[in-house]
């Protein structure tokens, strides 16, 4: 989060929770502010994560999230992040080469979720304006440049009321990449392999313009009702 902030990527208030002395957890949470999310640093898919509405819920949520994170990822490290709801989950596809050049393929909307798992993904997002699209794309590129990123990646943002905040970066090509391929006419898997082989990016940012609209739906199984969940706890 600190590196993203230094790269002028918008971030939510956050604080580390692991390894603090007595009273440190409560102080860190007060610094972030309520409501907040307790999140596993090594996590994903909603595992090792708890929504905390008030201070009296904090320690129980931290203990439960740490156990779940340790079991799921072998790493119980936690941090707290300001919880924003209702909100949308909007992510930007990026590619970086070994020379440090980065391009983006604008955004995908992934707000329709069940149990923190994406159900419907579409590109472009129906709520992102051209000016906001440019801002988010530029922020995603700065995020990748800040870490010298190589290959395919996805910079995920939380969006509300024309503001967006960094959630995380997925360092891989995600299963929803075909919606981006369809609106850009570019084989992203091919480019992932070419960059891994050491080839330079020859794609020009000004030529990467979306055409049309694409939607991907995931078929899942479960034992509860499906509803649209806030995007903030997706990471």
Beta-carbon contacts of residue 56 (< 8 Å; ≥ 6 apart):
none
The helix/strand/coil state of 36 is strand
The helix/strand/coil state of 35 is coil
By annotation, the residues acting in catalysis are 172
Strand partners, 109: 90, 122
Rounded (to 5) percent helix, strand, coil in the chain: 30, 30, 40
Cα 15 from Cα 108, distance rounded (Å): 28
């Amino acid at each position: 989060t600190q590196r993203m902030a230094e790269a002028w990527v918008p971030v939510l208030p956050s604080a580390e929770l692991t390894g603090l002395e007595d009273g440190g957890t409560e102080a860190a949470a007060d610094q972030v502010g309520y409501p907040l999310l307790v999140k596993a640093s090594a996590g994903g898919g909603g595992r090792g994560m708890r929504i905390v509405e008030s201070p009296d819920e904090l320690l129980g949520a931290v203990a439960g999230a740490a156990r779940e994170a340790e079991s799921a990822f072998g790493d119980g490290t936690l941090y707290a992040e300001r919880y924003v709801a209702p909100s949308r989950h909007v992510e930007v596809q990026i590619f970086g080469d070994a020379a440090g050049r980065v391009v983006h393929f604008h955004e995908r909307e992934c707000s329709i979720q069940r149990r923190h798992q994406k159900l419907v993904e579409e590109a472009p997002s129906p709520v992102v304006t051209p000016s906001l699209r440019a801002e988010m794309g530029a922020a995603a590129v700065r995020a990748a440049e800040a870490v010298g990123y190589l290959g395919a990646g996805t910079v995920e943002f939380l969006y509300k009321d024309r503001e967006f905040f960094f959630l995380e970066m997925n360092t891989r090509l995600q299963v929803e990449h075909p919606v981006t391929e369809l609106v850009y006419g570019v084989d992203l898997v091919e480019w992932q392999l070419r960059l891994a082989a050491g080839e330079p990016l020859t794609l020009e940012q000004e030529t990467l313009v979306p055409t049309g609209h694409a939607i991907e739906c995931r078929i899942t199984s479960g034992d509860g009702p499906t509803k649209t969940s806030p995007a903030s706890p997706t990471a």
